[in-house]
Chains A and B, each alone.
With several copies, the nearest count.
Chain A
Amino acid sequence: MDVTDFVMGISGDAGEGVILTGDLITQVAARSNLHISSTQTFPAEIRGGQSYVQIRLGIDSIFNPGDRLDVLVAFNRLAYHRYKPTIASDGILIIDGDPETIDMASTFGDWRGGPIYVIPMGEIAAKDVGVKRAKNMVGLGAVTALLGFAPEHGEELVHRFFAKRGEALVEPNVAGYRAGREYVAKKVTKRDHLTIPKVSGEGYLVLSGNDAIALGALYAGCRFFSGYPITPASEIMQLLAEELPRVGGTMYQAEDEIASIAAAQGASYAGVRAMTATSGPGLSLMSELLGLSGIAEIPMVVVDVQRGGPSTGLPTKTEQSDLLSAMYGGHGEFPRVVMAPISIRDCFQVMRSAFEVAEIYQVPVIVLSEQGLGHRRATLPKALLKQTPIEKVTRPQRSWGPTYNRFEITESGISPRAMPGDPGGTHLITGLEHWDFGGPAHNLENRTEMVQKRFRKLRNLDRRYGGVFAFKGEDATQHLHATTDEEAGRLSAAAESFRGQIGVIGWGATAGVVREAVARAEKRGIDTAAIFPRMIFPHNDLTIRPFIQGHQKIIVVEENFTGQYARVLMHYYDFEPERLNKYDGLPFKPEEVLRKIEEVASHV
């Protein structure tokens, strides 16, 4: 087994603390200098159902939670049955049960994996610890011990977690953790080779996509957030509720999504970098006011953590089905920018580009994340928070001359922006068409000029914001890590020169999976490359055209039914892409993409 990169699944009933166990394992791993990528499946219903966490661990950066399981941790028999089909051939099972009394042959007769460890988690919790609910902590202890993690990280983390919930909870849970470890130490003889590698370092951060967006915004100088809770975006708001006041900012919970964007527009108008975050239903509700940002030129950043649509749809599942709505939703025509982060790191980074573009070009910017990214976790170097420059948040006062016109018609399309408090800058903004000085105007020539002026901003958009992430062969890994807009720009240039058999195009969160599929295809001798534009709208023709022309067959990978991005591309280019679509609420697995690449390659 490749112990430098393996996948673990943890499964149990919604009440058994599976999610917490998974979270703690990821943190233990991160402190042990392992990279992780983890994902959760929420129970569909309010109560009941199964919870599941999948964690991939490795010594290199990891970009998706993988597919086949090398380790399955089952908190009960049903959980075992549900996930046993996904086990790798030599995969390990760790399961709750009584090793003394269990009939291994009949219980695990259908097991297709490797070694099995039956650990009496529930019993230890109930009898030794005296607290039944500590079963998951016993499991945590057992699993970390079996994999060879040092004990101290886990104990510290358990301690920290429960201390926040109430001191009384600390002792039994720590006791459970210890009991789990002790049991393994005393009673279990390891029968497999899976032991985590020892790596030195300062440990990693563990961030979800939603965490990364919130922190990215904070670093990008955002000091105002308004929003309304919605799955799967609420965590952005919740994190900022804690962090914004610490830096003088404001988290404002509005009464609905319309009020959210209105308040953010008000704050932006007043001179603060402002944003809102929501999911599909909220984006729909905001669409009228997006147009106000467009015509009144109020900078605005709207994050949409997409979920299964339409309407309430599949609120706890992932989908990429808001692209066309982000590009075209809202009546009338106005310039806007749509960006899609491709990884958790990029969730952090995209926010700076989003705020810069919004502020410089005075347009609304929509950032399309998705449930599969927002609720996924990954390790990132501590340097990300230590070394990323923090945007200056002061918007100093300026004085404006007597001929100040807020919407002056300029070559670039960008007009001088006075903010309340600025001497000499008083003016009117309005959602009506207006003269350059702001007054409503119905004059035909002015209308024509103003529409053109506003759209000129997009034509003049700095290319460095339009970076395309490019993956080819062995380079894929490093390309995924473009940390600045400049680097992304260089990747764009690289992508233009790609030539080959199969070209894969995708957007957003599928990048992690596609990258891996591309690398695997390469190993199987299929000449493959992939590109992911981070800025989807306006379209980056310069990079995408040569990429499409340079490949015999193009596959467009999307988590939706109608092939929204494929449609967009077909508008620009005369080609019939192969499409790989999925709309059942789960993200792609690398295998699925690989299979499509192989299938297409076999027909080329």
Chain B
Amino acid sequence: MSNAPEAAPTKDDAAAAAPSQPCGRGRDLNQYKGRLKPIWCTGCGIFGVLNALMRSLCELDIDPENLAVVSGIGCSSRLPGFVKCYGYHGAHGRALPTAIGVKLGNPRLTVIAAGGDGDGLSIGIGHFPHAARRNLDLTYILIDNRIYGLTKGQTSPTTVEGYETKTSPTGVIEPPLNPVELAIVYGATFVARGYSAKVKDLQNLIMEAIRHKGFSFVQVISPCVTFGKGSGFDYFGPRIKPMPEDHDAGDRHAALHLVSDTDTLLAGIFYRQDRPEYVARLQARGGARGRELDASDPKIDTESLITRFS
């Protein structure tokens, strides 16, 4: 039995009792509920992301026991606790290298990294290019509310110019980073943008991302209703536009062209590419067996080591 008191608001015994929500191939959405209840502010965009993610997992019939969700620190990084999975709520900014380790440690897992714009594009941005170009088969969901939510409203790398925050009292003077553009240039092989208010569309993107064999990136525009004053759902609603039908996601230049227009925020798949996946390439060279190493696996060739060192 747990040491958490019966009344602990954190422990969700409701999951079992919740009304069934059939989805996927005979699954129930409730199977994907974690032991914790979300603690986000009422109306926070991240609820939509959680919802879309759970539906994606269910629809794709992903076994929670073979699922790892890895995050950093931030409101959005609380996600792993609310999904039934092997959840890893690590350190601020380190979701990607950790997720890579998890994947290499057990390549059979579905691995999802998630986190905020501060987590991923400020302290953690140094890991992004290297994760993307390596092209491991994992999905990175960047939950972009253009603000530091958890620490109560400081400037983030996606806060737009002129916006006033606690650390930019007279308005931000840096142009924001464009996560989708970065992902493409970094070598991500699947790059999309979704909006947390459009759960169904977002679910479709996340499903595509998970299905994609390689490093998939989904930027989710997800308003912070508490500290994102002036950039809530009202603000984003009219700005989010669907991807032009004729966009060829295989065309890198076209994708870069589309994304450089920052006035309208296109939602959809910007770019996808077929490129050999990293773990598979390592495995082709004998390595990266991870936890699945067993009796039939390669043994240390002691003789060749002895020859080498004598």
Contacts and interface: CB of A to CB of B under 8 A. Distances in A.
Does A touch B (CB under 8 Å) in the complex? yes
Interface of A: 27, 30-31, 45-49, 203-207, 211, 215, 218-219, 223-224, 226, 228-231, 234, 237-238, 241-260, 262-272, 274, 281, 288-289, 292, 296, 311-312, 382, 385-386, 390, 393-396, 403, 405, 409, 418-432, 435-441, 443, 446, 449
Contacts of A427: 35, 86-87
B118 to A, nearest CB: 8
Question: 8 closest pairs, A vs B, by CB?
Answer: A266-B101, A270-B105, A245-B287, A267-B105, A248-B289, A263-B101, A259-B97, A271-B291
Interface string B259-295: 0000000000000000000000010011111110111
Given A46-B149, A440-B10, A270 B102 contact: yes
B89 A46 contact: no
A542 B223 CA distance: 58
Contacts of B294: 394, 396
29 contacts: A47-B40, A47-B41, A48-B9, A49-B9, A223-B293, A226-B101, A238-B154, A249-B287, A249-B293, A259-B126, A262-B101, A263-B104, A266-B102, A267-B290, A270-B104, A271-B290, A271-B291, A272-B104, A272-B290, A394-B295, A403-B1, A420-B68, A421-B65, A426-B84, A428-B80, A429-B88, A431-B91, A435-B8, A440-B10
Contact of A436 (B3, B282, B288, B291): B3
A441 B123 CA distance: 25
A539 B83 CA distance: 42
B157 to A, nearest CB: 7
Interface of B: 1-5, 8-11, 34-36, 39-42, 64-68, 70, 73, 75, 78, 80-81, 84-94, 96-106, 108-109, 118, 122-123, 125-127, 130, 148-152, 154-155, 157, 166-170, 282, 285-291, 293-295, 297-302, 305-306, 309-310
Contacts of A265: 90, 98, 101
A246 B170 CA distance: 12
Residue among B80, B88, B96, B282 with most chain A CB within 10 A = B88
A255 B100 contact: no
Contacts of A382: 306, 310
Contacts of B70: 266
Contacts of A271: 105-106, 290-291
Contacts of A312: 73, 91-92
A385 B88 contact: no
Contacts of B11: 435, 437, 439
Given A256-B126, A382-B306, A431-B91, 12 more contacts: A47-B39, A223-B290, A262-B90, A262-B91, A394-B293, A394-B294, A394-B295, A405-B1, A420-B65, A420-B102, A430-B81, A430-B89
A31 B310 CA distance: 7
B298 A248 contact: yes
Contacts of A260: 97
B282 A253 contact: no
Given A47-B42, A248-B286, A405-B2, A421 B94 contact: no
B34 to A, nearest CB: 7
A268 B105 contact: yes
Mostly, the B contact residues are loop
Residue among A238, A255, A296 with most chain B CB within 10 A = A255
B166 A238 contact: yes
Contact of A443 (B5, B91, B305): B5
B89 A241 contact: no
B220 to A, nearest CB: 18
A288 B157 CA distance: 23
A163 B303 CA distance: 20
B101 A267 contact: yes
A422 B288 CA distance: 19
A237 B86 contact: no
Given A269-B101, A270-B106, A439-B10, A246 B298 contact: yes
A264 B290 CA distance: 12
A38 to B, nearest CB: 14
Contacts of A395: 291
Given A248-B297, A289-B91, A436 B73 contact: no
A36 B42 CA distance: 35
